Structure formats: C-alpha cells, structure tokens
Chain A
C-alpha cells in the first residue's frame, strides 16, 4: 500500500464553495419539492387516463352486442377503488342501417377532462 505523502492532507472546502453549494441547494430544493408531487399527479393522471380509455373501449365493444332501442338507459357509475368513473353511451342513427356510438367516461373526483370515444357500427348484428 502506498503511504500518503507527508504534508498533503485533505483540504477543507472554501467559503465560496460552501456558498455555491448552498445556493444550488436553495434553487433545487423548491424544484424538488414541486417536482415530486407533480410527478405523482402525472402518474395518477396517466393511470386514470389508461383505465378510463380501457373502460370506454370495453363499453364500445359491448355496444356491438346490444340490441339498442328507445328508452334504454346506458348511463352508469363504475367504481374501481379508490376512483370512480361515470360512463355514458349515446347512440345516433345514421341512415337505416348504421348507428354512431359515442362513449364518454367522466373521471369523478377529479378535474381531468373526460375520455371520449366514437365509432360507427351496423345497427344490429345477430340478435
């Protein structure tokens, strides 16, 4: 093992260095304090967006199998703890043989914008 040379001990940080470090920390800590929650919000938002999109797609596929008629209420509230979603389906006749289906999924307890899916299908398959 090589011995430490005499007279070359560890040098303490200068005042300037300490001041710079503290300044950097002063800038970054608020950023960090902000970044973490917004990251969490983004993550939560991404998750809810994905769930809501999947829910909308599922409800859209389900519409293929429905025998849609007047008076059919297809609004519902879906609870996937800890979140809740309100799903609404709208059907619009297009000519005699097609129907436009619009699925809106509203994310309750949040201010996220709703997810909207729209498609067109034939009015009835096998009954």
Chain B
C-alpha cells in the first residue's frame, strides 16, 4: 500500500512539475512578448531622440565642432508619452547620460564599474526609462553623429593607378621613361560620388565665382604643375599645334588625332573612374636641320629632328620638380616658329594605369543639377583592369535618409561647402617672408631662423586665435622662390626628409590658430604646417611644389579651389568648394608609394577648376609668348587624385560630424 501511495505521489509530483513548467513557459513567452514590445518602444524613443537632436542642430560650418547635445534636452526629457499607436512612456535620464562625442578615447558609462569604459570614442551614451504597463525598464543606447566618408566629390572623380612598373614588381610594359612614373592612389574609406556640382550656385555674386566666370579666369600655375595635371585633365589641350599621332611604344594603342589642335578628353564620364585611362602627349619640336636640308635638297623638306623636351606633359616625379627637367628645357623663343607653321608636333599615347584601390565602396548620390550649370555625369562607376573597388557600390543613395533632390538635402549640402564666416576676425596684413609663424601665444624671446637665414622668421601673434589677411597672399614677383635669393632646398630636404631634388623654399606655420585669407593663397615651393589650426582661403589655394605637414592635432583647410602638387603628411580635413586637383608626386622608384598622405577626409563640391601654366612661375625670366598662346587652359574634373593616399580618420572630422547623421549603434536593457 505504501508503495502504491508512493507511486501515486510520484505521478502527482511529475504532473505538477509538468504543469508548473508549462505555465512558466507560457509566462516566459508572455514576458518575451512584453520585453520585445519594450525593445521596440525603446527604438521608437531613440528615433524621437535622433529626430529632435537633428532639429536642434543649428547652422554650422566644417571648422566648428558639434555643440553638446544633452543640455538642449533639459526640460524636454520626455521622448514618448500618450502616443496614438506606440505604447509606453520614455523619458531621458540626463544625469546618467554621458557625452563622449568630442573624445577620441572611450569613456565610462553610468553602468561601468571602475576601470571599464564602454562608451566608444565620439559617442553618446543615452540612458532612458521605458514604462510599459506596470513594468519599468532602463535602457542605454550608444548614439554617434558621424560623417562616414573619406572622400566626397562630384563626378568625374579620377583616381589613377600607377604609371610605370606594376607595384608587384612585374616588368614594366609601358617602356615609358622613368620620368613618367607615378604611384597608384589609394582611398582607405568610403567615397560619396555626387551626380553634379553642388556649389555652382553658391557665391554667384562674387566675381569669377560662377562656373562661367571660372572658365574665363583660369588659375595660374607653374609649368611643372601644369604638366603634372595635363594628362588627367577633363578637357583642354594645345591649339595651333599639329598633332602627328604615333604608335603606342608599348604603352597602349597609339592614337592619331590629326588636325591643328589636340584636345584631351577621357572617354569615360563615369562618376568614379578607378585606374585608366589618359593620354600622354609627347611634344616634339620638328625644326629643320640645315645640313640635312642641304644634303637632301628639296627632296625631303619634311625631314625633322626632335629636340628637347622629349616628352611634353608627363606627370613629374619629385626629381623633376622645382624648375628641373622639362620646364627648364622648355623651348625658347628662337626655337619656336610662328604659331601654326607646323614645326611643333604632339605625339599622343594612351596610357593605362594600375593599382588604384578604393577600400570601402562608393555611394552614388543623385543630387539634382542646379538649373543650367555644372556637369551631369550619367555613368556610374568605371573600374579599369588592374584596379580595385572593395566594398559595395550603392546606387541612388540617400544621404542621412534625405531625398537628395529635395530642398532640405540640397540646402544641407550647400551648407557643407559654405565658407565659414570670417568677416569679423581681426585684420592683420602681415609681412611676407620666407618663414612665417602665426601663433596665439606671445612671440618667443629669441626667434631664430631654422634655415640659417641671417634674418629671423617673422612671428605673427593672433591673440584671439583668429587672424584675417585681406587681399591675395601671393608672393610678390614670387620673391619667395629660388629666383629671389638663397636656395634652401638642401636644408629643407634634410629637415623634412624630403625626396632628393624636392625643392622647398619657405614655410608658413600655423600654431593653434585660425588664419583666413580673403583672396588667393599661393605658396610656391613652401612647407605648409599646421597644428590644431584652421586655414580658410577665400580664393584659390595653390601649393605648388610644396610640402604639407600637419601633425596629430590636425589642420582644417577650407578653400574655394585647390591645386596641390605637394608631398607630405596631412592629418585633418580639406574642403575645396569649387574643385580640386591633388598630385602627390609619388616616388619614381618601384614599388612607388604615394607622395601625399592624407588622414582625415577630403570634400570637393564643384567642378570649376581651370588651370593654365605660366613658365615665369618656374623661374623663366620671360615666357615665350607663342608658347603661352599654345598653352590652353585645362578643365579639370570634379577631382583628380593622383599619387595620393587618403585614409578616413574620424578624429580629424569633428566639424564635419555636424553634417553626419545620428546613428544608434547599440541599445541595451540595463535594468
């Protein structure tokens, strides 16, 4: 009997256990459903937070960091209450929120124990209550306002690869002279390729700032820079010069254009062109040799002899800069025949380039073209053989969730490229000198020239941290160049570890200060240095044959147009409103490395970049007029990025983060 009772008890126990377990399971499932609803209520609360935070963001420019966001929510802590469809109540716990948005290091959240830091750099820790029915939950979300792109530019964006031997060491198939070699460009970050110019309607009132205005006012650059940019130009060329057309010499298919002028025109109009794909022009002087003429009599009057320069407009390695090489060997007046007599010839080569890489894909933004101005490129992405696009190409992309054709998105984009207001900055038209230091602190007691000059560098103090130079800062008569005095290239080469032959003649240093130049800033063979500084140029910034040096504290450059034929390391942000061409003058020795390293970001808004070479900037006393006539301005693309390494580094893009979207990185239930 006892056994029977024990058995019955066991069965009963099992039955109750089963029943309890079933009920617990049901209870858990109900809790799961409720918890899931709480999670979605938390998400709804974060949507409200993001939308409100975005609406609270005032007008900004790229030089100012975002304002603290949490003080703006004081008195507005309730995110959700009595919503028609979304159940629940959500309220910010501001005392527990942590603003780490300006910090490049992780920080402690309100829930971290000692020594633990769970809030990532440049992030907000948003803590809020969610009440659902009788239950209350405490959530923490990590929110980041971040600009996600390394490079923004309207098409066509040309990122060429390497000219010369392949980076992997395989034999050179181009058979081009070493002077042509360049390094492949690399973009370690995501690219936003715009459909069209977003800035052509900005500053229309400013003389020469319209697209049409720029077309009649080309930027004057040295012949060295002109020659470097020539192969990559969108259009332009030589006029009054017969084009003979020759074979490819192994560099690609020869092109016989014929006729009395030569115009560069890259076949692809793609938004983004990786590798490929340009022409090299060999400029040949076909003067008559008297002896040959005599020997051959009148039978062969077309016999010609090639003289220097052997090649007309190759990209130049560092050894060919600073007035060396082709520009020094430019034909003189005596050699130049009257224009159009057929004694100059251009031989054209199609050259393919390899090794260009974009690492994290490209987004294509279909921003509607402003009325009647700017280019509109319809093709999407062209990747030439031997070049690589890693990551996705996302078409019809909406930046920050906004329709790019809608007015708010266009206005936001215009704001991104609008020059910071410097009208009320203290004016100081400081003297020009070979070496200029601008700083916030009082001048040091003893100023000594780092380059051994008998005259010390000038020190300009900007007490407020801001200084405004009125007018163009362009070396008068280019007296900062070698023509004006001692050649300090040897010193700078040693000091900055410049490649051999790189010719630097002065320096402009910004120390924890903002400099605004109302006109152009033209630095020929200069070192531009900056630390925790801002440079605003209300015109064209030309770094021609220079060196860029911006350390870990970063430098922000805003300019209307940018011509940069420089080497160096730059940490910071570069914004060129109307267009830019960057030529990093990569090392000639294989495996060639890009000469210009940019860590941060690069933003280009327009396609208005017209340049024209001037031999006087290379030290020539008087330019051969007929030569100048033949040199036609080059219309550059939205961006040309040659021999450059560009890496996305958000720590240098704090001002730009104003224009990024708030992203909820993670949401976690804390209690």
Contact = CB atoms under 8 A, between A and B. Distances in A.
A123 to B, nearest CB: 7
A126 B85 contact: no
B12 interface: yes
A2 to B, nearest CB: 21
B625 interface: no
Interface in B540-593: none
B33 A49 contact: yes
Contacts of A119: 40-41, 43-44, 47, 86
A100 B401 contact: no
Interface of A: 13, 17-18, 21, 24-25, 28, 32, 35-36, 38-40, 42-43, 45-47, 49-50, 52-53, 56-57, 60, 92, 97-98, 100, 102, 115-127
A35 B15 contact: yes
Interface in B53-88: 80, 83-87
B29 interface: yes
Given A46-B28, A56-B36, A18 B1 contact: yes
Contacts of A97: 51, 401
A115 B51 CA distance: 28
Contacts of B43: 119-121
Contacts of B37: 116-118
Task: Give chain B's interface secondary structure class.
Answer: helix
A122 B8 contact: no
Given A38-B19, A46-B22, A117 B47 contact: no
Contacts of B44: 100, 118-121
Contacts of A43: 22, 25-26
Interface string B6-17: 001001100110
A83 B51 CA distance: 40
A125 B579 CA distance: 29
B21 to A, nearest CB: 8
B397 A46 contact: no
Nearest to A103: B40
A125 B47 contact: no
20 contacts: A36-B15, A38-B22, A40-B22, A42-B22, A42-B25, A43-B26, A45-B29, A46-B26, A53-B32, A97-B51, A98-B51, A116-B37, A118-B37, A118-B41, A119-B40, A119-B47, A120-B43, A120-B83, A122-B47, A122-B51
Contacts, number: 120
A17 B1 contact: yes
Contact of A25 (B8, B16, B21, B47): B8
A121 to B, nearest CB: 5
B23 interface: yes
A46 B401 contact: no
B396 interface: yes
Contact of B18 (A24, A36, A56, A92): A36
Contacts of A13: 1
Nearest to B88: A118
A98 B54 CA distance: 13
A124 B22 contact: no
B4 interface: yes
Contacts of A53: 29, 32-33, 36
Interface string B29-51: 11011001100110110011011
A89 to B, nearest CB: 12
A100 B84 contact: yes
Nearest to B14: A32
Contacts of A60: 40
B620 to A, nearest CB: 53
A125 to B, nearest CB: 5
Contacts of B18: 35-36, 39
B259 to A, nearest CB: 46
A82 to B, nearest CB: 18
The 10 closest A-B CB pairs, nearest first, are A120-B44, A119-B40, A39-B22, A42-B22, A13-B1, A49-B29, A46-B29, A46-B25, A46-B26, A53-B33
B398 interface: yes
Given A49-B26, A50-B32, A119-B86, A126 B394 contact: yes
A32 B398 CA distance: 62
B5 interface: yes
Contacts of B5: 21
Contacts of B80: 120
Contacts of B83: 100, 120
A17 B5 CA distance: 10
Given A56-B36, A98-B47, A120-B44, 14 more contacts: A13-B1, A21-B8, A32-B15, A39-B21, A46-B28, A47-B29, A98-B48, A118-B86, A119-B40, A120-B86, A121-B47, A124-B398, A127-B397, A127-B398
